[in-house]
């Protein structure tokens, strides 16, 4: 059964982290995440290949607004809902409701798109959980 668990190298490959550790001035060991090649599938072990087609939900969050029940009952066609972000601020890119990147809204042909401007590294992701 233990053969079915992912090794640390396999987890790092999934997260796009190369094993490059360095010591901070305080002597603590830190891991610097670096993006590796976009097509990592060729480097994955057979165990990781099993999850490569697993569906994930990608969503983009423009902003948030808190409303009470009375206010939400008044929402109808033509209602403008004000969000907590300015027009120039980056939007959040989430996978399965977890923040993984930020970007700017662009137009691709006649569709919206997101140009990624910042990838949240794994350490930042953990900090935002708590």
Same-domain check for residues 104 and 130: yes
* Structure tokens, 130: 């708590």
Q: Could you report the per-residue pLDDT of 62-80, keeping only the tens digit for each?
A: 999 999 999 999 999 999 9
Residues 126 and 92 in one domain: yes
Which residue, of 34, 54, 74, is where some domain finishes?
54
Query: Is the same domain home to 76 and 129?
Result: yes
User: Model confidence over 95-109: pLDDT tens digits?
Assistant: 989 899 999 999 999
Instruction: For residue 49, report the phi and psi dihedrals to the nearest 5 degrees.
Output: -60, -30
CA angle 30, 33, 35 (to 5 degrees): 165
- Give the range with max mean pLDDT: 1-10, 30-39, 110-119: 110-119
Domain count, the chain: 2
- Is the same domain home to 24 and 4? yes
Residues 50 and 67 in one domain: no
Same domain, 64 and 123: yes
Locate 70 and state its tokens: 């009375």
**Which band of pLDDT confidence, cut at 50, 70 and 90, is reported for residue 33?**
very low
Alpha carbon distance 44, 99 (integer Å)? 24
Domain carrying residue 11: 1-54
Looking at the structure, tell me whether residues 7 and 63 fall in a common domain: no
Domain check: are 31 and 63 in the same one? Answer: no
From 36, 54, 72, give the residue that closes a domain: 54
**Predicted pLDDT at 35:** 45
Cα separation, 84 vs 67, in Å, equals: 12
Entry pTM: 0.57
**Residue in 124, 117, 125, 59 with CA at minimum distance from that of residue 88:** 117
In terms of domains, do 74 and 101 share one? Answer: yes
Give CA–CA dist 60/38, Å, rounded: 21
């Amino acid at each position: 059964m233990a053969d079915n668990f992912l090794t640390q190298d396999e987890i790092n490959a999934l997260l796009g982290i190369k094993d490059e550790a360095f010591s901070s001035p305080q002597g603590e060991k830190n891991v610097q995440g670096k993006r590796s090649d976009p097509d990592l599938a060729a480097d994955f072990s057979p165990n990781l290949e099993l999850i490569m087609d697993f569906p994930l939900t990608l969503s983009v969050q423009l902003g948030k607004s808190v409303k009470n029940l009375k206010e939400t009952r008044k929402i109808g066609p033509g209602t403008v809902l004000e969000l907590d972000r300015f027009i120039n601020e980056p939007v959040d890119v989430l996978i399965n409701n977890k923040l993984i990147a930020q970007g700017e809204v662009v137009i691709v042909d006649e569709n919206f798109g997101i140009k990624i401007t910042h990838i949240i590294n794994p350490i930042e992701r953990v900090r935002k959980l708590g």
